[in-house]
Chain A
Amino acid sequence: MFGPFRATSPLSGGLLWKIPFRLSAPQKARQRKRLRAVDTVIATIDTALRKQGSSLKEVERWKAEMPREEEMRPKDKYTVFDRKEKRYRKGIHSE
């Protein structure tokens, strides 16, 4: 009945939309902050292991394949893949 995923009239479909189409500037700023937090974790692990002279396959692969926050395209930062959506992309804030 309560909580973020309750069945409210805007969420149960139809033509009543309450979630804005676009993310607001603060929402986007918070999302970038979360993405940067992951980058810092990776960097910390990498430097700590390197000091010991060891390494980790997962970290090396992440660094080789995954872009950092500033290297990501806006499309990748603020939208995610969804096979049911038109043009296969939906905002990170919708549902």
Chain B
Amino acid sequence: MPFFKITQIRSAIGLPKKTTGVLKALGLRKRMATVFHPVSPQVAGQIMAIKELVAVSEVEQALTKSEMRANRRPDPGYYIETPASEAFDARI
């Protein structure tokens, strides 16, 4: 199921209450916040109302907040070796 990945790029400070309401309805509270919504005419209409404030892309999978955070995490640069005997036991 395709999703819209919506990221708020510009702030809604100084804009009409209606605009702020649409952002709130989509779950966008501050700049650079990202939400996922299924592709539907309803959501598309909401995006049309705030098209100047957001960046949108179409993705196959919706990510949770913790998954997005894990994706941003840099490679630690090391890995922990397991003794061959333990690895062998784990396989059995």
Contact = CB atoms under 8 A, between A and B. Distances in A.
A44 B58 contact: yes
Chain B, interface size category, equals 10 to 19
Q: What DSSP secondary structure best describes chain A's contact surface? A: helix
Interface string B1-36: 010100001000000000000000000000000000
Contacts of B51: 38, 41-42
Contact of B48 (A40, A51, A55, A62): A62
Contacts of B57: 44
A58 interface: yes
Interface residues of A, number: 19
A38 B52 contact: yes
B44 A49 contact: yes
Interface in B32-66: 39-41, 44-45, 47-48, 51-52, 54-58
Interface of A: 34, 37-38, 40-42, 44-45, 47-49, 51-52, 54-56, 58-59, 62
Interface of B: 2, 4, 9, 39-41, 44-45, 47-48, 51-52, 54-58
29 contacts: A34-B52, A37-B52, A37-B55, A38-B51, A38-B52, A40-B55, A40-B56, A41-B51, A41-B54, A41-B55, A41-B56, A44-B4, A44-B56, A44-B57, A45-B4, A45-B44, A45-B47, A45-B48, A45-B56, A48-B4, A48-B39, A49-B41, A51-B39, A51-B58, A52-B40, A54-B40, A56-B44, A56-B45, A62-B48
